[in-house]
Amino acid sequence: MKNPIREKLSKGKVSIGSWLNLGSPLAGEVMADAGFEWLTVDAEHTAYDMALIADTFRGIDSRGAVSFVRAWDHDPVTLARLLDAGAYGIVIPHVSTAKQAETIVSAMRYPPVGMRSSGTGRIATFGSDYKSTANDEILVMPQIEDMEGINNAEAIMSVEGVGVGFLGPGDLSLSMGLEPGHPDHETAIQKFLAACKKVGKPAGIPTTFEAAQQRIDEGFLMIDVSNELAILSGAARKMVEALH
């Protein structure tokens, strides 16, 4: 098992991906075919069940992109099932403390490093070396979405086994009672980025196409550009408006 995104980020290179919200394996395949390097199935907020998640991973993998998923909770059973379905990394929402990060890393690593159970699932097709390489290749990506997490970002990112710090700017703004783009909101984003840089871990952020270059220039390496729902909606609206 090799994770090219982990390798690329470890070299300080930028990686461009996107999010999947439609609950459609075909949409994932189309996005992968378009050239995104990785795609994250949003199992926290959208209509994916485990079968759809696994089928979406198949579509992504078939087109040469890397399959990630955002979990709906921190339960070790949830994380193990998502990994057994074939995820190369998991974004874990609402991580606010180093203790939470330590528990998550343990749940996503096989013994003796962690407590992940030795199941089969779709990973049974990944080759005999899966269990010997998964601990090193699978990306653990805590998502920081409130000021407690921002203030603890350096400690969270210092946890051994954490691979990428992923920001949740939308929930961060809600938790702060501010609109996205407010100066205090932006200050919190930059504080998160500085913490990741200080401990030498890559930082990820969702962004628009228009703002992507700005975030890259700032030093974010894992760039989540929009999602297939927003892309479809935007293109459809522009087409209809032009026709009218």
pLDDT of residue 229: 97
Where does the pLDDT of residue 165 fall: very low under 50, low under 70, confident under 90, or very high at 90 and above?
very high
Reduced 3-state DSSP string for 150-191? HHCHHHHHCCCCCCCEEECHHHHHHHHCCCCCCHHHHHHHHH
pLDDT by residue (tens digit) across 41-73?
Answer: 999 999 999 999 999 999 999 999 999 999 999
Where does the pLDDT of residue 1 fall: very low under 50, low under 70, confident under 90, or very high at 90 and above?
confident
What is the mean pLDDT of the segment spanning 130-151?
Answer: 98
Contacts of 203 (CB under 8 A, 6+ apart): 164, 165, 166, 167, 192, 193, 196, 197, 219, 220, 221, 222
pLDDT at 142 over 90: yes
Q: Which of 45, 94, 182, 244 is catalytic?
A: 45
Question: What domains, with CATH codes, occur in the chain?
Answer: 4-243 (3.20.20.60)
Q: In the annotation, is 185 catalytic?
A: no
> What pTM did the predictor assign?
0.97
